[in-house]
Structure 1
Amino acid sequence: MKKLLIMTTALAATAGAAQADITVMSWGGAYEKSQVEAYNRPFAAKTGIAVQMLAADNPAAPIKSMVESGNVTLDVADVEATDAARLCDEGLLEEIDPAAFPPAPDGTPAVDDFLPGALTECAVASMVFSTVYGYDTNRFPDEKPATIADFFDVEKFPGKRGMRKSPKPNLELALMADGVPAAEVYEVLETPEGLDRAFAKLDSIKSHIVWWEAGAQPPQLLADGEVAMTTAYNGRLFSAMVAENKPFAMVWDGQVYEYELFVIPKGAPNLDEAMEYIRFATDTQRLADQTRWISYGPARKSSIPLVGLFEDGKTEMGPHMPTAEPNLANALHSSFEFWVDRDMEISERFNTWLVR
């Protein structure tokens, strides 16, 4: 299914600029706002290079068709780890020299300062985000959902459930809800029996599921009363809870966390400027600055001590990071290796399951 692309924000280096100098595709919403404030505005001010933002349900989707048609209009895209690995393997991305990135303030080379696996030959991570679930506190005034198993328990906690219309990470969540320890999820899921078990668990709530595709949808589904609980990106729920004062609560148990990475499509029209942008955006200070607007963890070790307050000037952001120690008690690091190898096969089964 082709994704609808929505032009959202243009930043000009000077008032009245006719056209942006680079085009960056991201995910929209609170996440895009954090990039505009932490990266784009200071980048334009420093370099005179303006940044136009485009939003998509999945920024990886257009890259293949653009590159194969020879009509690449994007300079940078923000994608998930599985998509970055797949696009790189298919030769659809520009290579990135790890030595080109600035060191940490204490001189630690970038290759040692980035978290493990965050700096690759075709991509560089900016943030660690997580899929968690949230619920409307008004729907559960007495006993509160507290575990990933509770999300699948529609008898104890009645109501519709929102889930991303994708096998990833629903299958992982299903297995953890069915009692599989996080450390064993992929060992189980790579077997036919484990895959059957995950789909069987999803079957148990299938009639209660409202599917979402764009990151902005889950908080809206909760706000509109269409669901009692929904999986969501942790930053979207945080923004709804803290910035918009919505009566929601977030459950970290069973979170599935992964990297969000910058890539440059092969044949990007402004390659040098694109590289300059991602080097700037992923330096120590910029990654720490982004947490002022969204609760995603920086992908550089040197950025973590610099994490401070939310834009409201009072909310400490450290405890709201996916990588905060209490939030990792029962957490799963998404395996891009698993999904790169099996995505097509499992997605075909998932799509067939959807219409059964």
Structure 2
Amino acid sequence: MNNLLKTTALALALGGLAAGAASAESLTVVSWGGAYTKSQVEAYHKPYTEKTGVEIISADYNGGLAEVKAQVEAGNVTWDLIDVELSDAVRGCDEGLFEPLDPEMLPPAPDGTPATEDFLPGTLADCAITTIIWSTVYAYDDTKFPDEKPTTMADFFDVEKFPGKRALRKNPKATLEMALLGDGVPAEEVYELLETAEGRDRAFAKLDSIKDHIVWWEAGAQPPQMLADGEVVMATSYNGRVFNAVAVENKPFVIVWDGQIWDLDMWAIPTGAPNKERALDFIKFSTDTQRLADQASWISYGPARKSSVPLIGKHAVAGMDMLEHMPTAPDNFTNALQNDFEFWADYQDELNERFAAWLAQ
């Protein structure tokens, strides 16, 4: 929220008395910050402003529905467009927090294929349109392991073979799935097992085995920094954050794709957004074939359209070929697990409570 307040204050300071008039030609777009927001600014915001003259006011948040829910319920919505995970998109739609979106409005692929056929299966929701496919992975500092290297999720939990501190997100989502994957559970059986008391006990027992070696993180920028500072030797992280540290900052980090938890990020319009029509226009613009491919030249997140994939080229700064760094690249996708939003819709509150109690022990 601090970033949002800073952004709002800056906009007001720059706008002065003309703030009311400026808002008529602006769009407030909320996302996750860091390298990810930069990829959106370069691929979407700047070209859209150049085309339309509309100013994009970019703000950051840490995910979840609390802030948008507070705005909608207060009848004081200040955000026009928000980048959300699939689970929040579905839940927010069910709770009336997001506007319904018709995928028929989206532009077709260059060859005329309708958007509803061009977007990957499961990427178009009732209230949200997917832009990218990303994943939670773990990465290690290559300099810390001069001989044998970690290659599997089991290695993350093996502190005898690969000693050192590990960074984990302070949240049960993805953490519990990785615990079971690290304990030898096949990806296709993870959620079925997590639905049982035995499976949840097994996941927490696996976390117990490395609890003394865990450093917790809460914001996406933290894991690469923890690795860079030598605070940890391995860290779970969003794959794009690690890639950015390697490609742009030349860090000696290596991603282990085994057991990646992949997910979708989507555009959603808060109910009562002050610039709904402009937000709809921005969604159409930013999710066309070329724009999604353009974003992939800034960060290693896979575009949601099939027609965008052949257009993925080199990184805009580092010059490396990007396709092999995508979560969906065939070599990276052999033991991948999609985040099950229905599972988390059913068990989020219960597991948040248990996770908090476990942390406090």
- Number of equivalenced pairs: 352
Task: Say whether 1:65 aligns with 2:70.
Answer: yes
CA RMSD after TM alignment:
1.8
The letter for the 1-side match of 2:145 is F
Q: In the alignment, which of 228, 236, 240 is matched to residue 241 of structure 2? A: 236
Task: Say whether 1:227 aligns with 2:232.
Answer: yes
Per-residue CA distance 1:302-330 (angstroms, 9 max, x = gap): 11111000013630000000000000111
The letter for the 1-side match of 2:57 is Q
Contact 1:26–1:59 (Cα < 8 Å) also in 2:
no
Deviation at 1:137, TM superposition (A): 1.2
Deviation at 1:7, TM superposition (A): 5.9
Q: In the alignment, which of 269, 281, 285 is matched to residue 286 of structure 2? A: 281
SS of structure 2 residue aligned to 1:168: coil
Q: Distance in 2 between matches of 1:239 and 1:313?
A: 10
Contact 2:64–2:88 (Cα < 8 Å) also in 1:
no
- Name the residue aligned to 2:149: 144
Deviation at 1:156, TM superposition (A): 1.1
Contact 1:27–1:59 (Cα < 8 Å) also in 2:
no
Q: Distance in 1 between matches of 2:318 and 2:294?
A: 13
SS of structure 2 residue aligned to 1:155: coil
The letter for the 2-side match of 1:352 is A
- Name the residue aligned to 2:271: 266
Contact 1:128–1:260 (Cα < 8 Å) also in 2:
yes
Per-residue CA distance 1:182-204 (angstroms, 9 max, x = gap): 11111111111111111111111
Q: Which runs of 5+ in 1 are unaligned?
A: none
- Name the residue aligned to 1:295: 300
1:189-200 alignment runs, 5 A limit: 189-200=194-205
Q: What is the TM-score of this pair, normalised by structure 2?
A: 0.94
Contact 1:5–1:57 (Cα < 8 Å) also in 2:
no
Contact 1:264–1:274 (Cα < 8 Å) also in 2:
yes
Contact 2:172–2:352 (Cα < 8 Å) also in 1:
yes
SS of structure 2 residue aligned to 1:74: coil
Percent identical among aligned pairs is: 61
Deviation at 1:268, TM superposition (A): 0.6
Task: Say whether 1:202 aligns with 2:198.
Answer: no
Which is helix-richer, 1 or 2?
A: 2
Shift of the 32–7 alpha-carbon distance from structure 1 to 2, 3 Å rule, reads farther
Q: In the alignment, which of 151, 167, 170 is matched to residue 165 of structure 1? A: 170
Task: Say whether 1:84 aligns with 2:89.
Answer: yes
- Name the residue aligned to 2:54: 49
Deviation at 1:79, TM superposition (A): 1.0
Q: In the alignment, which of 235, 253, 256 is matched to residue 258 of structure 2? A: 253
Per-residue CA distance 1:104-131 (angstroms, 9 max, x = gap): 1111111111111111110010000010
Q: Distance in 1 between matches of 2:221 and 2:327?
A: 19
Q: Distance in 2 between matches of 1:8 and 1:309?
A: 34
